[in-house]
Structure 1
Amino acid sequence: MVVQGTPTTPTAAPAYETTTQTIAKELLAKTQERQGWLGQIRDRIQLHDQLLGFAMANPGLRVQLFRLIDCLPALSDKTEIARHMDDYLGQDIVELPAPLKALLNFTQPDSVPGHLAATTFSTTVATLAKKYIAGETIDQVFKSLKHLKKQNLTFTLDLLGEAVITETEAEDYLNRYLLLMEQLATRFPTQPVSPERSRRERLPNAQVSVKLTAFYSQFDPLDPIGTLTKVSERVRKLLRKAGELGIAVHFDMEQYVYKDLTLAILKDVLMEDEFRQRSDIGMTQQAYLRDSYQDLKEILQWVAERGTPLTVRLVKGAYWDQEMIKAIQHGWAPPVYRHKVSTDANFERMTQLLLENHQVVYAAIGSHNVRSQAHAIAIADALQIPKRCIELQVLYGMADKLAVALAKRDYRVRVYCPYGKLIPGMAYLIRRLLENTANTSFLRQRLDATPTEDLLAKPTFAEVDVQPADPIPVEQFANAPDTDYAQRLARQTAQQALTQVRNQLGQTHWSWVNGQYLPTETLVPSVNPSNPVEIVGQIGLLDTNQADMAVAAAKAAVASWRHTPASERIACLHRAGELMAARRAELVAWIVLEVGKPLREADAEVSEAIDFCHYYADEMERLEQGKAADLPGETNRYRYFPRGIALVISPWNFPLAIATGMTVAALVTGNCTLLKPAENSAIIAAKLAEILIAAGFPPGVFQLLFAKGSTVGAHLVQHPDIHLIAFTGSREVGCRIYADAAQLRPGQHHLKRVIAEMGGKNAIIVDSSADLDQAVQGVVQSAFGYSGQKCSACSRVIVLETTYETFVQRLVEATRSLNVGAADYPDTKVGPVIDAVSQQRIQKFIEIGRKEGSLALSIEPPDFGYFIGPTIFINVSPDAQIAQQEIFGPVVAVISAKTFEEGLTIANNTDYALTGGLYSRTPAHIEQAQTTFDVGNLYINRGITGAIVARQPFGGFKLSGVGSKAGGADYLLQFMEPRVVTENVQRQGFAPIDGFD
């Protein structure tokens, strides 16, 4: 059928409501249970029929029960299942109904009663899963589909396990669909075309639903061209096969971050001559997205241009919780409506838009809300829409009676049928359980006996949802939001900034001393590690005499700066943070080009630098208030004062964030500050200096010193006028600074304070109960993000032996799937290391590793730049050099442990104590790790890099460093000295005693 006409807007004031109410009441009556579901539950013995009722009745139990179900597939035996049942549901954690209490009536997990409870619970969950999953095997699926056919229902099949993290899994996902379609074609052959339909209107009997992210493990909106190329290749293969076999294909919609790229890929492929005439293809729209109505209008216009209709499936959306949590954590405006009633209202206006354009697209209305379906039917009946142009959809195992009632109204009803193993299907099962038990769900409201007039009331948008979306405020410190590169404008801005910064490369940058730039004789280049022939800029190096000039200038400014009101210093910090935010894209580009950090990670670093400015300003405001402990006749004041002159020695791996954090902490506390950055990140430090100067820090108060660390840096450390040294870098240099600073020099009348962060040998423990999808992705990101050049990076993975082989296989394949290349390439996940010296040092460790373990993977690096391909060693001894020494590169040692306790012992057996991670769904192990894993920052079931100011103050102990945590409430205290002033306020025995009885 060739599309006629162009899309139209919905009727201004349609008379659909009366009919909607009539149809809805008819459907509701036909779907009523004889007793009501909860009443039936009370009369049944089977536990699986009671679980949802229990969950609905007790929110606390709901959370624990679903968490237990989530980890069930990973548990290896009955003892482990029983132990986890006790961990999640026992020990008075939640109030249990009688059947569950009886089930947990065992004292030992390895006892006969414990094993019986484990068997009962496992069987119960498996039975429950079968209610929502059409089958684990193709034979089971065909049996379910045969049953649907008897009820005059059709289907779409969805293969579970779409969360691919390797290219091997992505290829397997495609091949599984190709096989599935062949199997469907033999069981559900296409029927002859009816006389009244043209061949192009022919409707296949079988349909599959697929997710685009499963076609490419590196699916990323930051790399739209690369992702489109890779995904489109596999989509074409799928569509060709489907066309040969007469199978319809529908493309699902997933998380918001993938929406625009998903639509772009589909629009691109389906406009190709080979597929432009196909009408057996569909795409999905999610009504809970605030921009979905506009997206639908654009889709209608695109389909009209295409000239051949396709199906648009309209659903409400399955990831609301995830979208809200992600938005709140990142400080972004939620992409979804905040209230369910707004989603329902948007669903209805989108339904109307779809159906009033039935000449352009076919509509598939997916909902279990009786009113939503009745509204669609009312419009379809009023407009006399041909049956080919509309179908109604429900999920397998949900609203079965509604599906039958809809089919009896002579509408085509399609059931969305998940198919696959229980383990990959567990996430799907949990989503279905959450939907069934959510307070706002239509099914739940029916069971709660919500009055019919309320249940079927016309939804209207909540007031908050008709306003432009704003970030949801949080009560704690509001961190700077990272850039959302799912937005096209953000990607364009980033590329423009890279171009603009490239036009500024090669300039010479001088030290800022006593309020002016100081030219010097010695110039050294800073180069792009992705392409060392590209000179980012030249820097002029100071000698010791010039460094002494800077110290003298600071000494002269100390008196005025220490007495500058804290409010003025605080205002300078806030201005610096605002200037950074305004120059975000430019700063990101400098980080990408000078130190080879990929775009998304560089952007997060700018956020951290902004956070340091605002957070330390807030903290200084708090500390400036001091503390009082007064008694009658006596006042006691506890106040803080600056130390004097601070020397900040910053590293190259976080050239903006760490330099900013240490520098502004020293400045806001009233110390005159000398910033000596690493030479290979000096240009970024120059940009920081521009911001601090513009923010208002006076001459002599802030100074930027480009100098050799081994000569001028060492000289400054020993200088008698330096009061405090803040250092981040290697253990070797940090220890030397610590020792040198401890020496009392002639003319020095104080002991120097040293704050030093010196790295780590960080481990992630993967427990036998871990979610391996989550664990593999977390390890890959933690180990190979910024090529492992983070002091928090994972360099050891300790895996329990029951999970070891499976984990290693997936880790290797996931790492093999990473794109290695220049940091400014949009598809790059692993960029270069910082310089040739680091490259050679890491290569030496790799050679050592070949002798100490088995090389499981070594990716061939590009032949330009300072690259080291991600490298994985397995079967490594805990005492091996590569398991003990900090490598600071993309090299990981995987170690096996027999027990969780042994894993903890291995993790703690190094000189360092910086960061650590645990992937586990065993509550007892999570609790044990919190008290016995010797690290400054412990991350559970997430990556171990990316600490956020105020949320995760960062720093370690042992040989990882000395000092308090950066970004924490006590960090500024290190830059000041406390003083107590006690005053006797009695005069001749008289003093006010107001407030004391």
Structure 2
Amino acid sequence: MVSQTNTNKTDRRYESKTQDIAQELIKSTRQNSNIFNRMREQMRWDDKILDWTMSNPGLRVQMFRFIDTIPALQSKTEIAHHFQQYMSAEAVELPNALKGILNFSDPDSFPAQTAAATITKAVETLAYKYIAGENIAEVIKTIDRLRKQGMTYTIDLLGEAVITENEAQDYLQRYLDLMEQLTQKAQTWKRVEGIDLADGEDLPQVQVSVKLTAFYSQFDPLDPVGSKAQVCDRLRILLRRAAELGAAIHFDMEQYRYKDLTLAILKELLMESEFRSRTDLGMTLQAYLRDSYQDLQDLIAWAKERGHPLTLRLVKGAYWDQETINSEQNHWQQPVYNQKAATDHNYERMTQLLLENHEYLCGAIGSHNVRSQALACAIAETLKIPPRRFEMQVLYGMGDKLAQALVKRGHRVRVYSPYGKLLPGMAYLIRRLLENTANSSFLRQNQENKPIEELIAPPIVESTDTDSVTSSKPSTHPPIPFFNAPDTDYADTKRRTKAEEALSQVKKELGKTYLPLIDGEYQETPNYIDSRNPSRETELVGQVGQISLEQAEQAMNAAKSAFKSWKATSASERAEILRRAADLMEQRRHELNAWICLEVGKIIPQADGEVSEAIDFCRYYASEMERLATGKNYDLAGENNRYFYQPKGIAVVISPWNFPFAIATGMTVAALVAGNCTLLKPAATSSVIAAKLTEILVEAGIPSGVFQYVPGKGSEVGTYLVEHKDTHVIAFTGSREVGCRIYAQAAKLQPGQKHLKRVIAEMGGKNAIIVDESADLDQAVVGVAQSAFGYSGQKCSACSRVIVASSIYNAFLARLIEATKSLNVGAADNPSIQMGPVIDPQARKRILEYIAQGKEANELALEMSIPEGGYYVSPTIFSEVNPDDTIAQEEIFGPVLAVMKADNFAQALSIANGTDYALTGGLYSRTPSHIEQASREFEVGNLYINRTITGAIVARQPFGGFKLSGVGSKAGGPDYLLQFLDPRVVTENIQRQGFAPIEGAE
């Protein structure tokens, strides 16, 4: 937070003048009537929508959701149908006028069609209050009008969601064309003092605003070098052409995760000799970010070194809701201020700092808050800042009267003017509507005639708005609550550096030998296998000892011996070992990420998510066991009934290679914390990672014999342990074939066996995503591509089928193909890569056989070239796939996607449910009835709506399916540990000779 000294300094130097100017400006904005002062019966529908949403929060949410959907709908019938669904939500109190137009039962009827036309027209009218035009011709008309009003402009292209390289190239070309056409038009303008002339100096008559992420579809803070190279290549083209045309370029700021990389790229690019002397360029900072003041200080120092001033646009920020939600979901520190007053206060500090350094950074004050603009005017007039170095900015359609009042005072006003089609502009429109209707919005408060003295008073920041963090650490006081571990934020340079250093260090440790752990001792074995890096097949990750059957028996005997004492160990002591293991995993996070990356070919961010999941399993199951250990009492007069749990005995965990750390950890620690002695037999291709888990459990204090690491051949050692008479629980994750075999083997009663074995088996899926006609295609295309090709399609939750409404099938497929083409395929330890190798040559061979089958029966929509030296398979898309085709029915476990067509939603659900599996599924839709129907009828264990279908989070999304996807309860859920426990009841008759203690009696 800002020191009191700074606050007082601002008040003393500029406050009196700020108050005078603010009084003048605010009175000017209230001179004419506004929508709140019109007679209600004279209001247009677009005005009514704003009026209603301001007075009814429930209606506001549903109305904005509906507006977001409109551009995707294909007919008036669909619009009417969706309008009725959104407005019929329970939380919505409808005004009488809305009830009137919703009074229809058939969306094909004339009243419904009339309602659709009315509301569509209202939304279009609303949109074009904030959008300068659909095309350049309309934009030029808008510019001509602004210039007549004494204002200048900057033009922004709507549709910043660039998800393909074609779109990135198109974005660049559209800006080149835009500058060309605006420059031609500018030749007809007479230069106007204040707009085109300042201090006797010509100002650029053309200015455009651009977003860096739109110049490269794979823009990623994890890959600063690759992102910078791609973006700068295109920015140089833009900057050179702008110089030839005499146009100015301003660089916008976007979401927080892109901020540091955006600033780093611009600082480096604009120091190049070719661009260093340019003064017709600008950057943006957002004052709602807690670190924005420091960023401004850093930019001033950089600008001093550069030696040529740039423009700095100061805004408050447009993604507050998104940033707070994102940080809460990821358990990261909130990057934004929680109070509006804190943002306003920081904005004022930054305004002062910026304008007091106007010789290095020209100030562009972007705000619709009269006080914010008045303070800037007061500082500029007090310091006599030259007009060239100071201007005010407003958004098109948002601060018209304030802009006019500022022009009247003699200030240059620039109007930020987006243009484009309604569909790509919808996200922008919703942001503007949210800003206009928020209770804290200055515009709203001014329109509602809040007392001027309150509106222009200095912002008062409550002391509670500190640098809060959504806690990810458990309380130290019992009972210990569970909090999910946050994934690494690779936008943070320090964390990214740690990741790079860990990867470099682990590479120096490759090739070591790893031995089994039996009865607390690492033992030599008769055989060893090589674990190789699937990204570079010649690179040895490590050699792993394979136990013999004699050693397997030795491990089983050690477990039996340790069970008596481990069973008697309290749940809290067992839980504490898990928590220590979780802490060790957190300490070794970057190292573990590197091992996962190198041994199984998983890119670092996905490896990081896996480590978070492993940490969560430890902490969550620790808390769950402590909860279960309290048992339950069912007492009544004369009788006590105690319900409690005891461990089953010996657990055999057979873990997979595709989540070699998270799943191995989850199954192992669940068995251990429940009091079972546990033998971990990992997949051969991920045995080094399992050895690292072993190191952690030993360091955390697991007793000898309680946990044992027993790598070995599945068909020999695995079968031996599964069939052993002393095995009580088998926890397995892997293929359907092996899982079914284990299930059958475990069902056989062995000589001397006195119990029935419990099998917990997760066996994969043939997962589908449905995309209906109301879906947000930007979101759907990205989500399907990530779900299908993340970790080369080797997640059991991966999307292998996408079922698309026939009306949008071609558009979706074309964009999906281009989005997939834009993925970088290569070695998983290269930060530019989005898709790495498959696990081994056998997997590659099997996947290629499926692709060959697909080529015979289906239409190949995409196959890409791939690098050499590793087990690479192209991301492959087949189109026009029939539901019964092999590639639509059998689990391929690779980057192969079948795209199918559905004529209606019922058919889409039927296709989705038409396999042997029921693991995960997804739906991209903005149709409430489809979402509700899918929730009921989509036969999957985990259904994800309007998001990717991979990446379940412990406790939030317990994971597991049914049908042939597996048997057992959901991992990371409240009943998972019950599978490792036997419940018992002890009943005691406490009557003695007809009397019994009565609770509470004296």
Task: Report the equivalent of 1:294.
Answer: 294
Task: Report the equivalent of 2:610.
Answer: 605
Task: Report the equivalent of 1:716.
Answer: 721
Match of residue 624, structure 2, among 605, 611, 619: 619
Task: For residue 277 of structure 1, report the CA deviation from its aligned partner.
Answer: 1.2
Task: Report the equivalent of 1:797.
Answer: 802
Task: Report the equivalent of 2:646.
Answer: 641
Task: Report the equivalent of 1:664.
Answer: 669
Number of residues of Structure 1 aligned to a counterpart in Structure 2: 990
Distance 1:467 1:713 in 2: 51
Match of residue 50, structure 1, among 32, 48, 51: 48
Task: For residue 39 of structure 1, report the CA deviation from its aligned partner.
Answer: 2.3
The aligned amino acid for 1:924 is S
Match of residue 784, structure 1, among 780, 783, 789: 789
Equivalent position SS for 2:38: helix
Q: Is 2:173 the counterpart of 1:168?
A: no
Distance 1:912 1:698 in 2: 39
Distance 1:146 1:132 in 2: 17
Task: For residue 992 of structure 1, report the CA deviation from its aligned partner.
Answer: 2.9
Distance 2:77 2:739 in 1: 49
Equivalent position SS for 1:654: coil
Change over 3 Å in CA distance of 1:73–1:288 after alignment to 2: same
Equivalent position SS for 1:465: coil
Task: Report the equivalent of 2:86.
Answer: 88
* CA deviation vs aligned residue, 1:514-537 (integer Å, no higher than 9, x gap): 010011121111011000111011
Change over 3 Å in CA distance of 1:733–1:600 after alignment to 2: same
Equivalent position SS for 2:37: helix
Task: Report the equivalent of 1:110.
Answer: 108
Match of residue 534, structure 1, among 532, 536, 539: 539
Equivalent position SS for 2:36: helix
Match of residue 500, structure 2, among 495, 503, 513: 495
Q: Is 2:909 the counterpart of 1:880?
A: no
* CA deviation vs aligned residue, 1:535-594 (integer Å, no higher than 9, x gap): 011011111111000001001111111111111111111111111111111111100000
The aligned amino acid for 2:447 is L
Alignment of 1:728-807 (within 5 A): 728-807=733-812
Residues 840, 871 of structure 2: 8 Å contact kept: yes
Alignment of 1:220-299 (within 5 A): 220-299=220-299
Task: For residue 471 of structure 1, report the CA deviation from its aligned partner.
Answer: 4.5
Structure 1 unmatched runs, 5+: 1-7
Distance 1:13 1:433 in 2: 33
Distance 1:870 1:902 in 2: 27
Task: For residue 242 of structure 1, report the CA deviation from its aligned partner.
Answer: 1.1
Task: For residue 141 of structure 1, report the CA deviation from its aligned partner.
Answer: 1.2
Distance 1:995 1:65 in 2: 57
Residues 612, 660 of structure 1: 8 Å contact kept: yes
Distance 1:221 1:384 in 2: 40
Task: Report the equivalent of 1:76.
Answer: 74
Task: Report the equivalent of 2:574.
Answer: 569
Distance 1:621 1:91 in 2: 41
Match of residue 188, structure 1, among 179, 186, 189: 186
Task: For residue 35 of structure 1, report the CA deviation from its aligned partner.
Answer: 4.6
Change over 3 Å in CA distance of 1:537–1:201 after alignment to 2: farther
Q: Is 2:629 the counterpart of 1:631?
A: no
Task: For residue 472 of structure 1, report the CA deviation from its aligned partner.
Answer: 8.6
Distance 1:106 1:651 in 2: 55
The aligned amino acid for 1:324 is T
Residues 506, 591 of structure 2: 8 Å contact kept: yes
Task: Report the equivalent of 1:129.
Answer: 127
Distance 1:485 1:223 in 2: 9
Q: Is 2:886 the counterpart of 1:891?
A: no
* CA deviation vs aligned residue, 1:331-379 (integer Å, no higher than 9, x gap): 0001111111011011011110111111111110000000000000000
Task: Report the equivalent of 2:430.
Answer: 430
Residues 333, 472 of structure 1: 8 Å contact kept: no
Task: Report the equivalent of 2:407.
Answer: 407
* CA deviation vs aligned residue, 1:705-733 (integer Å, no higher than 9, x gap): 01000111111111101011000000000
Task: For residue 33 of structure 1, report the CA deviation from its aligned partner.
Answer: 4.7
Task: Report the equivalent of 1:940.
Answer: 945
The aligned amino acid for 1:594 is E
Distance 1:474 1:78 in 2: 52
* CA deviation vs aligned residue, 1:115-149 (integer Å, no higher than 9, x gap): 11001110110011110000012221111111111
The aligned amino acid for 1:208 is V
Task: For residue 91 of structure 1, report the CA deviation from its aligned partner.
Answer: 6.1
* CA deviation vs aligned residue, 1:740-782 (integer Å, no higher than 9, x gap): 0000111111110000000000000001100000000000110
Task: Report the equivalent of 2:830.
Answer: 825
Change over 3 Å in CA distance of 1:930–1:995 after alignment to 2: farther
Task: Report the equivalent of 1:142.
Answer: 140
Task: For residue 810 of structure 1, report the CA deviation from its aligned partner.
Answer: 0.4
Residues 66, 430 of structure 1: 8 Å contact kept: yes
Residues 792, 837 of structure 2: 8 Å contact kept: yes
Task: Report the equivalent of 1:992.
Answer: 997
The aligned amino acid for 1:226 is G
Equivalent position SS for 2:182: helix
Task: For residue 462 of structure 1, report the CA deviation from its aligned partner.
Answer: 3.3
* CA deviation vs aligned residue, 1:593-624 (integer Å, no higher than 9, x gap): 00000000000000000000000000001000
Task: Report the equivalent of 1:705.
Answer: 710
Alignment of 1:450-465 (within 5 A): 450-465=450-465
Q: Is 2:554 the counterpart of 1:545?
A: no
Change over 3 Å in CA distance of 1:469–1:724 after alignment to 2: closer
Distance 2:265 2:191 in 1: 32
Distance 1:34 1:307 in 2: 46
Identity percentage of aligned residues: 63
Residues 249, 282 of structure 1: 8 Å contact kept: yes
* CA deviation vs aligned residue, 1:385-414 (integer Å, no higher than 9, x gap): 110000000000011000000011111000
Match of residue 58, structure 2, among 53, 57, 60: 60
Change over 3 Å in CA distance of 1:982–1:33 after alignment to 2: farther
Equivalent position SS for 1:539: strand
Residues 521, 540 of structure 1: 8 Å contact kept: yes
Change over 3 Å in CA distance of 1:41–1:707 after alignment to 2: farther
Alignment of 1:371-382 (within 5 A): 371-382=371-382
Residues 191, 205 of structure 1: 8 Å contact kept: no
Task: Report the equivalent of 1:558.
Answer: 563
Equivalent position SS for 1:559: helix
Task: For residue 90 of structure 1, report the CA deviation from its aligned partner.
Answer: 2.5
Residues 472, 484 of structure 2: 8 Å contact kept: no
Q: Is 2:443 the counterpart of 1:443?
A: yes
Task: Report the equivalent of 1:5.
Answer: none
Residues 328, 472 of structure 1: 8 Å contact kept: no
Q: Is 2:976 the counterpart of 1:971?
A: yes
Task: Report the equivalent of 1:154.
Answer: 152
Distance 2:327 2:212 in 1: 23
Structure 2 unmatched runs, 5+: 1-5, 476-480
Task: Report the equivalent of 1:4.
Answer: none
Residues 47, 99 of structure 1: 8 Å contact kept: no
Change over 3 Å in CA distance of 1:822–1:544 after alignment to 2: same
Task: Report the equivalent of 2:308.
Answer: 308
Task: Report the equivalent of 1:930.
Answer: 935
TM-score normalised over the length of structure 1: 0.97
Distance 1:839 1:484 in 2: 32
Change over 3 Å in CA distance of 1:200–1:772 after alignment to 2: farther
Change over 3 Å in CA distance of 1:33–1:966 after alignment to 2: farther
Equivalent position SS for 2:313: strand
Distance 1:515 1:368 in 2: 68
Change over 3 Å in CA distance of 1:49–1:33 after alignment to 2: farther
Equivalent position SS for 1:38: coil
Residues 640, 988 of structure 2: 8 Å contact kept: yes
Structure 1, 510-519 or 851-860: larger mean CA deviation: 851-860
Task: Report the equivalent of 2:349.
Answer: 349
Change over 3 Å in CA distance of 1:793–1:50 after alignment to 2: same
Residues 557, 701 of structure 1: 8 Å contact kept: yes
Structure 1, 469-478 or 728-737: larger mean CA deviation: 469-478
